[in-house]
Structure 1
Amino acid sequence: MTDTTNWDNNVAALVVALGDQVRGSTAAEHMAQLGELLDSDPAYSRLWLVWATQRGELPVESDVVNFRRDVKLNGGAAALSSLGNRADFSIFGYATRVEIVADAVMVDVHDTCRTDKMSGIQRVVRETVSRWAREHDIQLVAWTKNRRALRRVTEIEYGRVVDKVAASSDGTDPVETEQIVVPHGGLLVVPELAAESERAERLLALGRFSTTRTAFIGYDVVPMTSGETATDAIAAHFPLYLDAVAYSSRVATDSASTGSEFEAWKRMLPASGRTGPEVKAVVLAGDVDESTDESLAAARRRLKLDDAPMVLVVGTHEPRKNHLVVLQAARILWQRGERFRLVFIGSSSWGSAAFDNLAQVLLDQGYPLVIVKAASDSLLAASYRLAAVSIFTSFHEGFGLPIVESLRAGTPVIASNIGSMQEIADMYRGVITIDPHSDSTLQSTLHSVLSDATILQTLRTELASNTYRSWDQYAADVWSFFTAPHDAAAPGHSAAPGASAQEVAA
């Protein structure tokens, strides 16, 4: 349905946003005035706002650079005319409404709001954003289907994030009329890994050119520092994501280890004339649901538990998680006559064929192995509590949430002695750390804890004295960091950035 009124109102709103009073009463007069304002001050932030509003989508870096060149060479009126119709325009008129939203705190929950699944990142997003929504004035946004514009989330999507309510569909909710929003000032928080190229390159331009600051939760830099453990797709897209982060104002990393990686990356930026964001480690929380007698009994049935101790491994079966070595260690111990049930909770992922094949061989041979591809929060919590010990010997992690979840459930952990996993072991008692690259060490350690009951009992006694960070604390700390007063000339954001290498003198 045609909505020229929305378009006309946005032209007038742009005039006001650029600091002038609206003159005249027609759209043509307002457009002429807007062109004059661009002629008088073609600042990047003004050009970004005009381009985004007039086109109904967010620009990439070259769009803003070319628009500025057009304004300076041909004048504001001609440059506005060259933008053409809004992106949603058709013979039927405008398909969406575009709204300039001033000085708001927006939170980009594009991935989390469209799925009922609960990965580590999605758990952080839901636990954090749900608390922000209760305590602060925020607006949740996602991206349009083509990932070229921000839109308001639907009621179903809001429920997935804030109320943690599973929907009947998964990522296919109809959005009949996408409510496009263009931020003007304020803050855009990105608590997810926004690595898709369409999304990242628009966040880059927004962070570089607009008056809206961006802030990211930084989960890891694994595709850069352990590239062999990442898929080809994420390895190819991750540098563009980091380019977007380079123009942000602040990054809250999930561990000091990840913070060191981001700081090291930041030290490379001056070579390209950038300074990068302020980086601060805000250590994650971790929790598990309470378990009832009924949920524990259901878990025992689902996991086929008997009187043998249960060893639990939580996480996707990608090579970085080192699950293949856990299978091999278990097979050797089983062949020696040791009694225990090994339970994996996590889905297959890229590069999981070797794990899947060996697991199937062991199952066919009758070994006490259970693979759970998807688990409810209730089953996961009960599994942690029923386990004698859990294993998390990953090669590289941004944090290692299953370690904390296991400890919170009262179950000791065998974890890697590197990076964030060693960091968690230094924070909390109840963790045995080993070299994740040593198969024999994992095998001998697992044998020790299963054959000597005093080891696990000592660890359980020790971990009972731990004081854990809560999600309330984590959410409050990240909010305080992201929203603290900010110097407009601080690293990562400027109202008038320097010229791009793409731009020629005009």
Structure 2
Amino acid sequence: MVERTPGDGQIEAYLLREMKAEIDELARSEVDDVTKFLYARAREFYWTVTRLVGLGRLHDGVWRKPGGDAARAWRTALAGDIPAPATRARLLVDMTATHRTIGRTGIQRVVREIARAMVESGAAIPVFMENGRLYSHFAHANLPDEVTPAAGDKFLLLDAGWHLTAEYSQMIDKVARAGGETIGCLYDLIPILYPSVVTHSAHLAFVEWFDLLVRESDAIVGISKAVIDDFAVYARMKSLPCKRGLQLGWWPLGADFRAPGDAAPSPRAIAAVEGDRPLYLSVGTLEPRKGHAIALRAFDRWWEEGADVRYVIVGSKGWNVRALERRILEHPEFGQRLFWLQDASDADLRYLYERTRALVFPSIAEGFGLPLVEAAHFGARAIASDIRVFREVGGEWVSYFAPGDSEALLARLKETLAAPPAAPACDILSWAGSAEALAGLLRTGDYPLRLDEAVEAR
């Protein structure tokens, strides 16, 4: 890990418990050891071969691959008037991975919101790659269909295209030969710092992409200062081959996601809220680092003590959580006081945020913690792990507990019943404001740090 904190021991103990639970879950399956071994080897062979022949998207979550004019047919039409973007020294915002997928992860939400805000303000042209060329993601009379890199352009790698390293390598080279710059974007270093919480495939893809980012970026921006601090320390520890005088910056994310005010929540979301029981909400993909098992352990204890409260999890099933999935689905409170909404819409999420007693965010590692600011935007308090980035984002209005400690979390939960709900006293940034902050940083080049300065400062 980059930096040891007092909670690291508790985090490591939690990860070991979850790893053991996964191993035990695998042992439960009615498959003999030879079959298990052959399956594991076949899966590793599949990962390796598909990546070598450029088909890593088949297992990395990209569901659509362009062929011919197909990718351009997926462009998003913009209605109404928008400013014409600059014709020189343009900001080209890459969103290739998001363009090719229909998923709605936290990173994809950031990409979509920043891209739309920037194109609507005229600050940038969101683009996607296809066969070594760039095209505008949005279709509008004021936007070009194809974008050819030129001198003075800045190519921002906003998307999480870890599985597209070969394509990015070619495009970065094309931008450089045209006289442009590449700005890397970091959401976190979790696949490197906590490799046990991601799949082997995701770890390999991230490392390959990260190596390219380190070598070729003229500047790197992060979604929090904590992310940039982690990067600076890691770069020093590993003597990464960054460009001399590499500039570093960060910007805050927005909270006002686009959920139409007249959009109705689903029956499942309504059912999770019905009644007078206080509602507690966790938002995030079901994966080890998100800490859902920590929260469920706290609620189990609370229910045993006689508390009549509800716990709602919003997020799709991720990886390495088969044991936790079984625990949730076979839980005696499932459908009564425990709910799991895997395909919640933005309308569902808004409905739940507006009615929750508190957001419960037990994650052990994050790059920002978007649910914190989303909850605050809708007037909900938050209980979160006491990790550095949450202190940066949540400040004093969040109630913190020691990471991985379900008893400490339970104490914070009980406090929410002892005192009436109060709206968080904090400043919430809109996505338009977030996009403006990022565009301003890139436009002026007024980065707060250089890599060598950041390392010396620590």
Q: What TM-score do you get using the length of structure 1 for normalisation?
A: 0.64
Query: Deviations 1:233-264 (Å, cap 9, x if unpaired)?
Result: 22112223223322212222111111101222
Deviation at 1:363, TM superposition (A): 4.7
8 A contact 1:251–1:278 mirrored in 2: yes
Q: Which residue of 1 aligns with 2:236?
A: 267
Describe the shift of the 1:103–1:287 C-alpha distance in structure 2 as closer, same or farther (beyond 3 A): closer
8 A contact 1:103–1:183 mirrored in 2: no
Q: Which residue of 1 aligns with 2:438?
A: 478
Among candidates 100, 110, 120, match of residue 96 of structure 2: 110
Q: How does 1:387-402 map to 2 (within 5 A)?
A: 387-402=356-371
Q: How does 1:126-141 map to 2 (within 5 A)?
A: 126-136=112-122, 138-141=124-127
CA distance in structure 2 between the aligned counterparts of 1:205 and 1:413, rounded to whole angstroms: 44
CA distance in structure 1 between the aligned counterparts of 2:346 and 2:324, rounded to whole angstroms: 24
1:150 is the counterpart of 2:133: yes
Among candidates 188, 201, 207, match of residue 220 of structure 1: 188
CA distance in structure 2 between the aligned counterparts of 1:373 and 1:149, rounded to whole angstroms: 36
Deviation at 1:310, TM superposition (A): 0.7
Q: Which residue of 2 aligns with 1:242?
A: 210
8 A contact 2:273–2:279 mirrored in 1: no
Describe the shift of the 1:207–1:180 C-alpha distance in structure 2 as closer, same or farther (beyond 3 A): closer
Q: Which structure 1 residue ranges, 5 or more long, are not aligned?
A: 1-87, 90-100, 163-178, 493-506
Among candidates 141, 149, 152, match of residue 183 of structure 1: 149
Deviation at 1:475, TM superposition (A): 0.8
8 A contact 1:216–1:251 mirrored in 2: yes
Deviation at 1:280, TM superposition (A): 0.9
Deviation at 1:278, TM superposition (A): 1.1
Describe the shift of the 1:383–1:159 C-alpha distance in structure 2 as closer, same or farther (beyond 3 A): farther
Q: Which residue of 1 aligns with 2:167?
A: 199
Query: Deviations 1:70-92 (Å, cap 9, x if unpaired)?
Result: xxxxxxxxxxxxxxxxxx99xxx
Query: Deviations 1:36-93 (Å, cap 9, x if unpaired)?
Result: xxxxxxxxxxxxxxxxxxxxxxxxxxxxxxxxxxxxxxxxxxxxxxxxxxxx99xxxx
Deviation at 1:106, TM superposition (A): 2.2
Superposed CA RMSD:
3.3
Deviation at 1:209, TM superposition (A): 5.6
Describe the shift of the 1:260–1:362 C-alpha distance in structure 2 as closer, same or farther (beyond 3 A): same
8 A contact 1:259–1:281 mirrored in 2: yes
Count of aligned pairs: 360
CA distance in structure 2 between the aligned counterparts of 1:131 and 1:410, rounded to whole angstroms: 23
8 A contact 1:324–1:354 mirrored in 2: no
1:252 is the counterpart of 2:238: no
- What amino acid maps onto 1:467 in structure 2? D
Deviation at 1:269, TM superposition (A): 7.2
Q: Which structure 2 residue ranges, 5 or more long, are not aligned?
A: 1-66, 69-86, 453-458
Partner SS state of residue 437, structure 1: coil
8 A contact 2:93–2:127 mirrored in 1: yes
Describe the shift of the 1:296–1:386 C-alpha distance in structure 2 as closer, same or farther (beyond 3 A): farther
Deviation at 1:123, TM superposition (A): 1.5
Q: Which residue of 2 aligns with 1:287?
A: 256
Deviation at 1:424, TM superposition (A): 1.9
Partner SS state of residue 111, structure 1: helix
Describe the shift of the 1:364–1:377 C-alpha distance in structure 2 as closer, same or farther (beyond 3 A): closer
8 A contact 1:262–1:279 mirrored in 2: no
Describe the shift of the 1:261–1:199 C-alpha distance in structure 2 as closer, same or farther (beyond 3 A): farther
8 A contact 1:317–1:346 mirrored in 2: yes
8 A contact 1:224–1:235 mirrored in 2: yes
8 A contact 1:414–1:434 mirrored in 2: yes
Q: How does 1:37-186 map to 2 (within 5 A)?
A: 104-136=90-122, 138-144=124-130, 149-153=132-136, 158=138, 182-185=148-151, 186=153
Deviation at 1:275, TM superposition (A): 2.8
8 A contact 2:132–2:171 mirrored in 1: no
CA distance in structure 2 between the aligned counterparts of 1:238 and 1:368, rounded to whole angstroms: 38
CA distance in structure 2 between the aligned counterparts of 1:360 and 1:273, rounded to whole angstroms: 47
Describe the shift of the 1:300–1:132 C-alpha distance in structure 2 as closer, same or farther (beyond 3 A): closer
Which of 1 and 2 has greater Rg? Answer: 1
8 A contact 1:391–1:415 mirrored in 2: yes
- What amino acid maps onto 2:160 in structure 1? L
Partner SS state of residue 362, structure 1: coil
Deviation at 1:115, TM superposition (A): 3.2
CA distance in structure 2 between the aligned counterparts of 1:275 and 1:234, rounded to whole angstroms: 29
Among candidates 404, 411, 435, match of residue 437 of structure 1: 404
Q: Which residue of 2 aligns with 1:467?
A: 427
Q: What TM-score do you get using the length of structure 2 for normalisation?
A: 0.70
